[in-house]
């Protein structure tokens, strides 16, 4: 997605050979016009997949997911990283290890919002080692729902998550794939999706 790549080039900050900071438009401040275009792009790519719900992870997955949900006309559920007082019983949960934060989180959704009648599109901001996506897939499985695949805003193609998910047969659509962040330079891969 050309507009997204331009934005990454203009406003992204390479923090190390493996971490990209996009707080200017996705992870802290949010560019609603770009999010709307991202939502429409996901809606186009997954049109015809029979999606009835979008599932994401708080907090950075919510903005692109809501815009995709608006375009597709389906509700958005975000998995919580901490159990809130109002989210105690009847949960589906899964462990997610975060390499960036070096900690494990239990993510949960209420059983009320995803069930066997659903076809779920998973959306997240970044794909790196694939732990977040795998955790979300476990929630879909535990709910007995079908999976339509995974939509990712920025995939770091030099980390193994995307390759492993695709090898296992999961449909992964990434709007920008970064091949390298070496020496502060952002290099995109020519392939944007499988
Ligand atoms: P994974 O579980 O695929 O290893 O990592 C995905 C999660 O880690 C995403 O939900 C995202 O929040 C975070 N993440 C991984 N790599 C980056 C990065 O380079 N930049 C930012 N901003 N977040 C990242």
Q: What is the pLDDT of residues 96-137, one digit of tens each?
A: 998 778 889 899 999 999 999 999 999 999 999 999 999 999
Q: How far apart are CA 194 and CA 187, in angstroms?
A: 19
Nearest CA residue ID for atom 19, ligand 1? 19
Ligand 1 centre to CA of 3 (Å) is 21
- Say if ligand 1 is within 6 A of residue 130 CB: yes
Buried/exposed 102-125: b ≥16 CB within 10 Å, e otherwise: eeebebbbbeeebeeebbbbbbbb
Looking at the predicted complex, does its ipTM rise above 0.95? Answer: yes
| Residue 144: per-residue pLDDT | 98
pTM flag (> 0.90): yes
Checking if the pLDDT of 194 tops 60, the result is: no
How large a percentage of the chain has pLDDT more than 70? 95
- Say if ligand 1 is within 6 A of residue 78 CB: no
Ligand 1 centre to CA of 33 (Å) is 22
Number of residues that this document lists for the chain = 194
Ligand 1 centre to CA of 147 (Å) is 21
Checking if the pLDDT of 191 tops 70, the result is: no
- The average confidence (pLDDT) of the chain is 95
Segment 46-64 mean pLDDT: 97
| Residue 102: per-residue pLDDT | 86
Q: Which is more confidently placed, 83 or 56? A: 56
- Say if ligand 1 is within 6 A of residue 155 CB: no
Segment 165-179 mean pLDDT: 98
- Say if ligand 1 is within 6 A of residue 124 CB: yes
143 — pLDDT class (breaks 50, 70, 90): very high
The answer to whether the CB of 177 falls within 8 A of the CB of 148 is no
Q: Are strands 172-180 and 146-156 parallel, antiparallel or unpaired?
A: parallel
pLDDT digits (tens, 9 = 90+) for 57-105: 999 999 999 999 999 999 999 999 987 666 567 999 999 998 778 889 8
């Amino acid at each position: 997605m050309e507009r997204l790549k331009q934005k990454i080039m203009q406003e992204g900050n390479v923090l190390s050979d493996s971490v990209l900071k996009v707080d200017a438009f996705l992870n802290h401040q949010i560019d609603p016009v770009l999010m709307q275009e991202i939502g429409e792009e996901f809606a186009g790519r997954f049109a015809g997949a029979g999606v009835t719900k979008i599932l994401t992870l708080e907090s950075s997955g919510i903005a692109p997911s809501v815009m995709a949900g608006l375009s597709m006309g389906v509700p958005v559920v975000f998995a919580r990283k901490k159990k809130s007082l109002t989210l105690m019983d009847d949960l589906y949960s899964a462990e997610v290890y975060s390499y960036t934060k070096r900690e494990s989180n239990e993510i949960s959704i209420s059983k009320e919002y995803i069930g066997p009648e659903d076809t779920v599109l998973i959306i997240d901001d970044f794909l790196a080692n694939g732990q977040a996506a795998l955790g979300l897939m476990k929630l879909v499985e535990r709910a007995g729902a079908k999976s339509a695949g995974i939509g990712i805003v920025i995939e770091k193609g030099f980390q193994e998550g995307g390759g492993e998910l695709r090898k296992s047969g999961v449909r992964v659509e990434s709007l920008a794939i970064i091949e390298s962040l070496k020496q502060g330079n952002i290099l995109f891969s020519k392939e944007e999706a499988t």
